[in-house]
Structure 1
Amino acid sequence: MTNRFTAVSMATLVLAAAAQTAGALQFGDAMPASTVQMKSVTGKEVTLGEAAGRKGTLVIFSCNHCPWVKAWEARIAALGNELPAKGIGVVAVNSNDPAAYPGDDYADMVARAKARGFTFPYVVDSTSDVARAFGATHTPEAFLFDGAGKLVYHGAIDDNAQDPAKVKHHYLADAADALLAGRPIAVTEAKAIGCSLMLRPKG
């Protein structure tokens, strides 16, 4: 895993820990872009509203090429496959321009979802407008909404991408557990680290 985080690869990454995006959603904001149709790796068109769960919805901006996504991907898959049965819908969204990031095209998404065993929708944001609506800037970046569609958590998966055994704070999983239990969420935003989203040009 250490090899994935060399100085060379780090040069291509954006460290969101320095500052959260000014345009990102704030705690309590409503889920945007909930009616936008996005193509899933199954070939079906899906909206965030359709994928929403009775108790909440988790939207994760992801991709195929990013070493940070790859480091967290097993944990993302496990949580994403578990939550829908508990009432939290899950959608992974790829907003990257495949012309800028080879390996992020639709065919690669299909292969990636199959390899990782995703049972939740992995969709392509074909205009990148969903990412813009969320203010998302990197991958992975999680947005957890409650059953009323209000943002209750935004940020990192946990505090250690490289070594799952050394995780001290399971930010996203803990937020989901608290939401399901009806408890206050202790950490509503955690600074995240990831690769820069390369959005398609507007127009």
Structure 2
Amino acid sequence: MAAIPPVCHFGWKAPGFSLPGTDGRRYGYADIAGPRGTLVMFICNHCPYVLAVLDRIIRDARDLQALGIGVVAISANDAEAYPQDSFENMKRMAEERGFPFPYLYDAAQGVARAYDAACTPDFFGFDAGGGLQYRGRLDASRREAGPADLRRDLYEAMKQVAETGHGPREQIPSMGCSIKWKSA
């Protein structure tokens, strides 16, 4: 069943974190923050919503990095219940797809909970000071990629953040698979 995150809470401060990356390094928010803003994405390896637009996520990440936006992806799914989302499989995907951003593993799921991540993909776009300015969708794609000429909602919003420090007032939430939480 598809999950939809809540609307953007403008100005909400990005929680810090320290997580292992598929490249063997540990990263915190300060390590990936860009001079003009930061994009924190919750994705995973198996979600059909993510897989349908992964090429677009990679494209937009590269384009946003060129604008001074730091980019990171985090997977927080329960890898015991969803082995495709294991750290080893994350490493393989990041290498095979040539991720231009760190891909971090939130095994304890504390970071996903701190961000109140709801689905994959879930996008959190912060201004240069770490205040939330965008919690919307990548584009109008759903479980399948939409036409190639779709408006790039995430890119346009983060470009606006880079240029003005403010996200668009009107935002359409992302939609995807729910985060696969560990049972208590």
Contact kept in structure 1, 2:133 and 2:166, CA below 8 Å? no
TM-score (normalised: structure 2): 0.91
Aligned counterpart in structure 2 of residue 56 of structure 1, from 20, 30, 37 = 37
Aligned counterpart in structure 1 of residue 152 of structure 2, from 152, 166, 170 = 170
Deviation at 1:163, TM superposition (A): 3.6
2:88 match: secondary structure: helix
1:78-116 deviation digits (Å, cap 9, x = unpaired): 111232232110000001010121200011001111121
- Distance change (3 Å), C-alpha of 1:196 and 1:176: same
2:46 match: secondary structure: coil
Alignment partner, residue 47 of structure 2: 66
Give aligned pairs, total. Answer: 183
Contact kept in structure 2, 1:93 and 1:122, CA below 8 Å? yes
- Distance change (3 Å), C-alpha of 1:160 and 1:180: same
- Distance change (3 Å), C-alpha of 1:188 and 1:143: farther
Is residue 195 of structure 1 aligned with residue 183 of structure 2?
no
Is residue 26 of structure 1 aligned with residue 14 of structure 2?
no
Q: Percent identity?
A: 34
1:165 match: secondary structure: coil
Contact kept in structure 1, 2:140 and 2:146, CA below 8 Å? no
Deviation at 1:60, TM superposition (A): 0.4
- Distance change (3 Å), C-alpha of 1:188 and 1:200: farther
Is residue 186 of structure 1 aligned with residue 168 of structure 2?
yes
TM-score (normalised: structure 1): 0.83
Deviates more, 1:123-132 or 1:165-174: 165-174
Is residue 81 of structure 1 aligned with residue 69 of structure 2?
no
Higher-RCO chain (CA-CA 8 Å, sequence separation at least 6): 2
1:107-136 deviation digits (Å, cap 9, x = unpaired): 100111112110210000121011101111
Matched to 2:9, the amino acid is Q
Is residue 115 of structure 1 aligned with residue 96 of structure 2?
yes
* Unpaired stretches in structure 1, ≥5 consecutive residues: 1-12
1:147-174 deviation digits (Å, cap 9, x = unpaired): 0100000021111242442654322111
Contact kept in structure 2, 1:62 and 1:139, CA below 8 Å? yes
Alignment partner, residue 141 of structure 1: 122
